[in-house]
Amino acid sequence: MFEARLVQGSLLKKVMEAIKDLLNEASFDCAHSGILLQAMDNSHVSLVSLNLRKEGFDKYRCDRNIVMGMNLTSMSKILKCASNDDIITMKAQDSADTVTFVFESPNQEKVSEYEMKLMNLDQDQLGIPETEYCCIIKLPSGEFARICRDLSQFGESIVISCTKEGVKFSAAGDIGTANIKLAQTGTVDKEEDAVIVDMQEPVTLTFSCKYLNMFTKATPLSPQVCLSMSPDVPLVVEYKIGEIGHIRYYLAPRIGD
Amino acid sequence: NMSQSLISSFFSPS
């Protein structure tokens, strides 16, 4: 028996919005410690890694490990039926071919149940090694989304350049060039408003605008985003999911022609 | 024209 109950059901709705444009389907690996999802996007350019710890759920039970292959378009349709203040429970029998979503209104007066067929997915799991990154940049997630959106008007790529002074985002294309510099902030009232650069070595890498913009669909999950960069390895874009876990996007850098 | 690398070339299958 697998059962995971989340009083703050809106988090699950937001997680779905953050992955459904990148992935058509994905396996949810449910284990005693929590739920993991790891999948490459359809073009194998980026990787999504989602981690929801059991401690983050209001009730979590997983008697034996199960892998639930889900069509994310279908799951997204079902989660759209949940209100933002609904309590969401996911449950499945040990060797079931369906998963059930239960949505309870806060006053328990309305209870909806949706059963969805599971899929057999044969997905390549990638091993993500522990990496020491040269630059780790924390910035407000809304600011990052704004920068990606603004720069995507100029070209298909965004160059992210990190030095000890701060971080520079640039793009160039037919209409001209754009440069946005963010300096490290001094003291701020709210930690989530800060721009913090932890740099060992300066790094400049180029990434696809299209993918960065898709990652920013996770913005509602967290006020802060963390970018980790090293030369010649994928960028990591991480959003915390409340107290439950995190979503990480790995994007391979673009290579000059 | 810049080529986009595949993510699988960076991470070995586990």
Q: What is the pLDDT of residues A103-162, one digit of tens each?
A: 999 999 999 999 999 999 877 778 888 899 999 999 999 999 999 999 999 999 999 999
Which residue of chain A has the CA closest to B9?
A252
ipTM: 0.85
Which residue of chain B has the CA closest to A158?
B2
Return the percentage of chain A with pLDDT > 90, whole number: 86
Instruction: Kindly report, residue by residue over A163-190, the tens digit of the pLDDT.
Output: 988 999 999 999 999 999 999 988 778 8
Q: Is the pLDDT of residue A98 over 60?
A: yes
Which residues of B are less than 8 Å from A129 in CB distance? 11-12
Q: Which of residues 65-94 of A touch B (CB under 8 A)?
A: none
* Residue contact A126–B7, C-beta within 8 A: yes
Q: Shortest CA distance to A18 belongs to which of A83, A103, A79?
A: A79
Chain B: nearest CA to A157, how far in angstroms? 9
When CB atoms are compared, the residue of B3, B8, B14 closest to A255 is B3
The residues near A200 (Cβ < 8 Å, ≥ 6 apart) are A132, A134, A135
A5 and A36 in contact (C-beta within 8 Å)? Answer: no
Dihedrals phi, psi of A143, to nearest 5 degrees: -65, -45
A131 touches chain B (CB under 8 A): no
- Number of A/B CB contacts below 8 angstroms equals 60
A59 and A12 in contact (C-beta within 8 Å)? Answer: no
Dihedrals phi, psi of A229, to nearest 5 degrees: -135, 145
Q: What is the DSSP letter of A151?
A: H
* Stretches in chain B below the pLDDT threshold 70: 1-3, 14
What is the token pair recorded at A185?
Answer: 């902030």
Side chain identity at residue A244, one-letter code: I
Which residues of A are less than 8 Å from B3 in CB distance? 254-255, 257
Chain B: nearest CA to A180, how far in angstroms? 22
What is the model's pLDDT at position B1?
46
Instruction: Kindly report, residue by residue over A35-79, the tens digit of the pLDDT.
Output: 999 999 988 899 999 999 999 999 999 999 999 999 999 999 999
Instruction: Kindly report, residue by residue over A190-221, the tens digit of the pLDDT.
Output: 888 999 999 999 999 999 999 999 999 999 99
Q: Which of residues 1-14 of B touch A (CB under 8 A)?
A: 1-14
* Residue contact A45–B11, C-beta within 8 A: no
- How many Å apart are CA A75 and CA A101, to the nearest integer? 9
* Residue contact A257–B4, C-beta within 8 A: no
3-class SS of residue A236: strand
What is the model's pLDDT at position B14?
61
Which residues of B are less than 8 Å from A45 in CB distance? 4-7
Which residues of A are less than 8 Å from B9 in CB distance? 252
